Amino acid sequence: MAMMPALERDLNNMSEYYESGKTKDASWRESQLKGLRSFIMEKQDHIMNALMQDLGKHQLEAFRDEIGTLIKTLNLALKSLKDWMSGKKAKLPQIALLTSAEIVPEPLGLVLIISSWNFPFGLSLEPLIGAVAAGNVAVLKPSELSPACSSLLASGIATYLDNNAIKVVQGGPEETQQLLQQRWDKIFFTGSARVGRIVMSAAVKHLTPVTLELGGKCPAVVDSLSSSWDIGTTVKRIIVGKFGTCAGQACISIDYVLVEKGYCSKLVELMKVWIKKMYGDNPQRSKTIARIVNKHHFSRLKSLLDDKMVKQSVVYGGSMDEENLFIEPTILVNPPLEAAIMSEEIFGPLLPIITVEKIEESIKFINCRPKPLAIYAFTKNQTLQRRMISETSSGSVTFNDAILQYAADSLPFGGVGESGFGMYHGKFSFDTFSHQKAVVRRSFLTDFWYRYPPWTLNKLQLLEVSYNYDYLGLLLVLLGLKRPSKRLISDHI
Amino acid sequence: MSTTLDSHETTSPVEEEQRAFDAEAASLLVKKLREAFASGKTRGYGWRVSQLKALAKLVDDQEQQIVDALGNDIAKPPLETVAYEIAMLKNSCRVALKELKHWMTPEKVKTSIATFPSSAEIVSEPLGVVLIISAWNYPFLLSLDPVIGAIAAGNTVVLKPSEIAPATSSLMAKLLGDYMDNSCIRVVEGAVDETSALLQQKWDKIFYTGNGRVARVVMAAAAKHLTPVVLELGGKSPAVVDSNINLKVATRRIIAGKWCCNNGQACISPDYIITTKDHAPKLVDALKTELETFYGKNPLESKDLSRIVNSNHFARLTKLLDDDKVSGKIVYGGEKDESKLKISPTVLLDVPRDSLIMSEEIFGPLLPILTVDKLEESFDVINSGPKPLAAYIFTNNKKLKEQFVGTISAGGLVINDTTLHLAVHTLPFGGVGESGVGSYHGKFSFDAFSHKKAVLYRSFLGDAPVRYPPYTTTKLRLLKALIGGGILGIIRAVFGWS
């Protein structure tokens, strides 16, 4: 492991730099955020090219989903930084004599961010923005499955940011393993549940807190909408939420759809119409759908359709171009539920539609499966909306749209159960890389004899009488946070 | 060791006693609790309130039993039990009951142009079935305080109290069995075997209070199921003492935080002191004076001091005193009575940094004093070790106070006192680094056992065609303008001028 000594040396240097206190300064944090913003704005074309190279991602998707959202986040972070950094006063119980209490956020120290290949810039830099805003030093490990992006990140960060504090380590599983052996103050991981377990197990050695952003099968429940405008909009949003976001290779992609039996054919027909409108007769030629990231995932997706019953359920699309790693938008109706396509996260442009007798049955269907990162429901029925929120569990719930919750800074983005734990975006990013330190300040002036032993019967009786079994009062008196009644003092004298 | 089983199960008490709590039993228990959770009964405000009230009543009715159990387990002075376990629990119940409606209400949040038009809220939902493993030093408080949070948040709970405080453990098993909803809240007593059986199961959250070694076992077990954890651990909480302060008051507060808290067996007791070489003699004198006032000339006889919990810990503490490196450093106390498991308040002066007593959390009535030339050096001393759960400073120097707050990383800090941040429910109580992960108390307890679910409501109207293919250059221009261009940029893009 030739890398180890060099890595350890680098990390030691970073820790020392952190100890110097430089990264705690607001001005340093601001300079790094501005540096990131300059990187993204000045190198936009390079970023778009890298995404096209690694994923065949169209410029508009690149801007909409990564570049644009990062600029939005950076603007918010720069605007809010002072506010986020300031301590928050904590309310004190009763008359806590000459005492003040506040919560002071402080950086955790040296943090590790492991990101994924499908949104290589977004999933690397959104956490990094939080880490830097919170005053940490950070190592970023982008995914080797998106090599052009990974290398652009490495050169961009080296050019635009403080190299003493932020480093990029490129490589594959071996490099990740070496990184996981080191001592971190926080690990932020985006990826699969399988690797999530490995990361958390490695974190045990140093009791390192982790955030795990995983995935799951995100369902879209489609109610039998009567208005043609509503169903048309629904279909458009489903198509974008599936095929139009990295060809379904997103942790919050719509994985499958649930719809009432009677409404299914209408839904399918409309989907076919709109797919044609958006992508033309030959979607591959439109060059607006991302391709599958590599042969391994292509084969995985291909094999999902190997099952005879699954193949028979395909009602649209299904053609695959192995050489160009392209799979066209594909719709299936009621593939067998035990098939792999309905038990694993699909992460590709295959959309199963599962029919139910009544739409409310979707709730039970979803609850039989691991908790997903997102649940989508297209409905105007407020009762159904309320039931979806209170009877299912997921990272998030979005009504009448998909994917968009990713762009909402005021909403925490994270999973629950198998889809992960911890959250980020907006201020949640800052908080996830901070320790909320409680600080209490006292004066010497207020101190009372009955706080201290010896606990004589006399003292106990006096206290009991005075406080009438007011336990809180008793506690506060003992801690010297409250004066006793005047009667008590005069009795003693 | 037995569990509290449903009364409708047809097993004789003898059979129950003999049945070991193994992985199969643990699995069955979790299954039952999952079913109870799935039934939805813990979700409603009514159930949660009823359980919190039952807990408050339990603590009220059984005060004497609790005092006796703690007297049994650790000879804890009744006033300490009443003040620090019972009073704090009652306050936690009170706060939870008062605030629960507010905590349960979804939080509306503002939305931006990025998702316009939309509305959004954050909904707190229970995680499901949670495991709480507690400690022996404040066995009541450290078991039931997290339980309050778990119940308030709507979860079903298994509590595993510490076997090192057996009287309290069995009292809690009995009382929770009598007062609480047994279909949703259970106690499993036992030691390593039972804890291991529990840890093999899939929980939605594990809340552990204890030491770093077992915390690693807990976290490793949690990793298998991707279970989030809260780890409330400890460390060496330092107290830095400056000169030019009200030394008498400072000393009394140090004593209050050390020996009045379970005889130093508390995670936030001041573990050791750092002061200047010049000031040390004064501090030692002050400590001697106040300690004698508090505990008399024969502290081993004093009823106002907890004993050492068991012979293991007694031996451990004895070893710290027997260390060659600290012989001759004892300036006060040092008396022991092994038969009664008592050690008197002991102060050591000028202990070497590499002595045993300075290398592990003391968790006992021994107070080493480290001396430095200038007080600022104390910050380096503290920062050179693992981050503690708490850190204290006694000073009137404003600059020093701010430096302390700015450079010392610990779970919580107190200036000019010790330990009282524990009682402020609006402050998060938890560690950082080796002293732990996560926090609780007040609303932080509710949050610790909740999932914050993001909910976004979108309308079918107000759709921006820029989102959808076919992707044209106009759309790209417009999108760029929408994100960063401001209103002029948008107008320009719409008209194709940029």
Mean pLDDT in runs of 10 for chain B (498 residues)?
Answer: 44 53 95 97 97 97 96 93 89 95 97 85 98 97 97 98 97 98 98 97 98 98 98 98 95 95 96 97 97 93 94 96 92 95 96 94 97 96 97 97 96 94 92 98 98 96 77 80 63 56
Which candidate from B38, B125, B223 shows the least CB-CB separation from A197?
A: B223
Of A24, A72, A200, which to mutate for an interface test with B (greatest number of B Cβ within 10 Å)? A200
Which candidate from B411, B428, B470 shows the least CB-CB separation from A286?
A: B470
Question: What is the domain-level CATH number for residue A166?
Answer: 3.40.605.10
The answer to whether residues B441 and A25 touch, using CB atoms and an 8 Å cutoff, is: no
Contact A197 B224 (CB under 8 A): yes
Contact B436 A104 (CB under 8 A): no
Contact B421 A440 (CB under 8 A): yes
Q: For residues B225 and B271, state if they share a domain.
A: no
Q: For residues A455 and A408, state if they share a domain.
A: no
Nearest CA-CA distance, residue A106 and chain B, Å: 8
Nearest CA-CA distance, residue B181 and chain A, Å: 22
Contact B204 A417 (CB under 8 A): yes
Of A439, A446, A481, which to mutate for an interface test with B (greatest number of B Cβ within 10 Å)? A439
Residue B456 resides in a domain:
no
Continuous H helices in B259-279: none
Q: For residues A172 and A259, state if they share a domain.
A: no
Query: Rounded distance, CA B79 to CA B312, Å?
Result: 26
* Range with lowest mean pLDDT among A419-423, A449-453, B154-158, B225-229: A449-453
Which candidate from A410, A444, A451 shows the least CB-CB separation from B120?
A: A410
Mean pLDDT in residue range A377-402: 97
The answer to whether residues B485 and B155 touch, using CB atoms and an 8 Å cutoff, is: no
Task: Give the amino acid at A210.
Answer: V
Query: Rounded distance, CA A142 to CA A121, Å?
Result: 9
pLDDT of residue B19: 66
Active-site residue numbers of A? Answer: 213, 251
Contacts of A478 in chain B (CB under 8 A): 79, 83
Contact B483 A91 (CB under 8 A): no
Query: Could you identify the residue written with the tokens 């108390």?
Result: B441
pLDDT of residue B278: 96
Q: For residues B161 and B69, state if they share a domain.
A: yes
Q: For residues A122 and A235, state if they share a domain.
A: no
pLDDT of residue B23: 93
The answer to whether residues A143 and A172 touch, using CB atoms and an 8 Å cutoff, is: no
Task: Give the amino acid at A491.
Answer: D
Residue B274 resides in a domain:
yes
Nearest partner of A406 among A198, A119, A137, judged by Cα: A119
Nearest CA-CA distance, residue A292 and chain B, Å: 19
Whether A436 and chain B come into contact, CB under 8 Å, resolves to: yes
What does the buried/exposed string (b/e) look like for B152-166 if buried means 16 or more CB atoms within 10 Å of the residue's CB? bbbbbbbbbbbbbbb
Whether A443 and chain B come into contact, CB under 8 Å, resolves to: yes
Contact A72 B245 (CB under 8 A): no
Q: For residues A55 and A91, state if they share a domain.
A: yes
pLDDT of residue B114: 78
Q: For residues A128 and A227, state if they share a domain.
A: no
Of B455, B472, B478, which to mutate for an interface test with A (greatest number of A Cβ within 10 Å)? B455
pLDDT of residue A444: 81
Q: For residues B201 and B314, state if they share a domain.
A: no
Task: Give the amino acid at B262.
Answer: N
Whether B93 is catalytic is no
What does the buried/exposed string (b/e) look like for A236-274 if buried means 16 or more CB atoms within 10 Å of the residue's CB? bbbbbbbbbbbbbbbbbbbbbbbbbeebbeebbebbbeb
Question: What is the domain-level CATH number for residue A405?
Answer: 3.40.309.10
Distances (CA, A) of A329 to A299, B158, B205, B235: 16, 47, 39, 57
Of B219, B258, B475, which to mutate for an interface test with A (greatest number of A Cβ within 10 Å)? B219
Beta strands across the sheet bearing B366-372: A88-89, A99-107, A434-442, B412-415, B390-394, B238-241, B272-276, B366-372, B346-349, B330-332
Residue B458 resides in a domain:
no
Nearest CA-CA distance, residue A312 and chain B, Å: 29
* Chain A from 136 to 175: CB within 8 A of any B CB: none
Residue B328 resides in a domain:
yes
Contacts of B438 in chain A (CB under 8 A): 209
Contacts of B86 in chain A (CB under 8 A): 471
Whether A108 and chain B come into contact, CB under 8 Å, resolves to: yes
First-to-last alpha carbon distance for chain A, in angstroms, is 75
Residue B8 resides in a domain:
no
Q: For residues B128 and B262, state if they share a domain.
A: no
Task: Write out the residue range of the structural domain in which residue B390 sits.
Answer: 238-429
> pLDDT tens, A7-23?
999 999 999 999 999 99
Which candidate from B40, B122, B125 shows the least CB-CB separation from A411?
A: B122
Q: For residues A167 and A27, state if they share a domain.
A: yes
Whether A209 and chain B come into contact, CB under 8 Å, resolves to: yes
pLDDT of residue A95: 52
Contact B413 A438 (CB under 8 A): yes
User: What residue of A is the nearest CA neighbor of B113?
Assistant: A408
Whether residue B161 is preceded by a cis peptide bond, meaning omega within 30 degrees of 0, is: no
Query: Rounded distance, CA B328 to CA B351, Å?
Result: 10
Residue A421 resides in a domain:
no
Whether A410 and chain B come into contact, CB under 8 Å, resolves to: yes
Specify the pTM.
0.94
Q: For residues B340 and B229, state if they share a domain.
A: no
Q: For residues A301 and A210, state if they share a domain.
A: no
The answer to whether residues A136 and A161 touch, using CB atoms and an 8 Å cutoff, is: no
Neighbours of B206 (CB within 10 A): 23
β-bridge pairing B436-437 and B229-232: antiparallel
> pLDDT tens, A80-129?
999 999 989 998 765 556 578 999 999 999 999 999 999 999 999 999 99
pLDDT of residue B178: 97
Which three-class secondary structure state does DSSP give residue B460? coil
Residue B5 resides in a domain:
no
Mean pLDDT in residue range A183-189: 98
Query: Rounded distance, CA B262 to CA A446, Å?
Result: 24
Contacts of A438 in chain B (CB under 8 A): 411-413, 421, 424, 427-429
A323 burial (CB, 10 Å; 0-12 / 13-18 / 19+) is exposed
CA dihedral over B329, B333, B337, B338, signed as positive or negative:
negative
Residue A420 resides in a domain:
no
Q: For residues B209 and B279, state if they share a domain.
A: no
pLDDT band with cut points at 50, 70 and 90 for residue A462: low
Q: For residues B210 and B248, state if they share a domain.
A: no
> pLDDT tens, A262-293?
999 999 999 999 999 999 999 999 999 999 99
How many structural domains are present in chain B?
3
pLDDT of residue B323: 93
Q: For residues A56 and A182, state if they share a domain.
A: yes
Whether A412 and chain B come into contact, CB under 8 Å, resolves to: yes
pLDDT band with cut points at 50, 70 and 90 for residue A484: low
Q: For residues A194 and A306, state if they share a domain.
A: no
Whether A489 and chain B come into contact, CB under 8 Å, resolves to: no
Mean pLDDT in residue range A303-312: 95
Nearest CA-CA distance, residue B238 and chain A, Å: 15
Contacts of A443 in chain B (CB under 8 A): 416
ipTM, 2 dp? 0.93
Whether A193 and chain B come into contact, CB under 8 Å, resolves to: yes
Q: For residues B87 and B155, state if they share a domain.
A: yes
Q: For residues B160 and B252, state if they share a domain.
A: no
Which candidate from A63, A240, A399 shows the least CB-CB separation from B468?
A: A240
Give Cβ neighbours of residue B314 (< 8 Å, ≥ 6 apart): B308, B336, B338, B341, B343
User: What residue of B is the nearest CA neighbor of A59?
Assistant: B476
Task: Write out the residue range of the structural domain in which residue A251 sits.
Answer: 219-414
Q: For residues A230 and A180, state if they share a domain.
A: no
Query: Could you identify the residue written with the tokens 């065609």?
Result: B465
What are the structure tokens assigned to B428, written together? 């998060």
How many structural domains are present in chain A?
3
Residue A419 resides in a domain:
no
User: What residue of B is the nearest CA neighbor of A233?
Assistant: B460
Contact B109 A460 (CB under 8 A): no
The CA radius of gyration of chain A, in Å to the nearest whole number, is 28
Which candidate from A61, A408, A442 shows the least CB-CB separation from B415?
A: A442
pLDDT of residue B116: 80
Q: For residues B36 and B163, state if they share a domain.
A: yes
Contact B427 A90 (CB under 8 A): yes
pLDDT of residue B2: 41
pLDDT of residue B498: 40
Angle between helices A3-19 and A173-181 (to 10 degrees): 50
Mean pLDDT of chain A: 92
Which candidate from A196, A411, A454 shows the least CB-CB separation from B226?
A: A196
Contact A411 B109 (CB under 8 A): yes
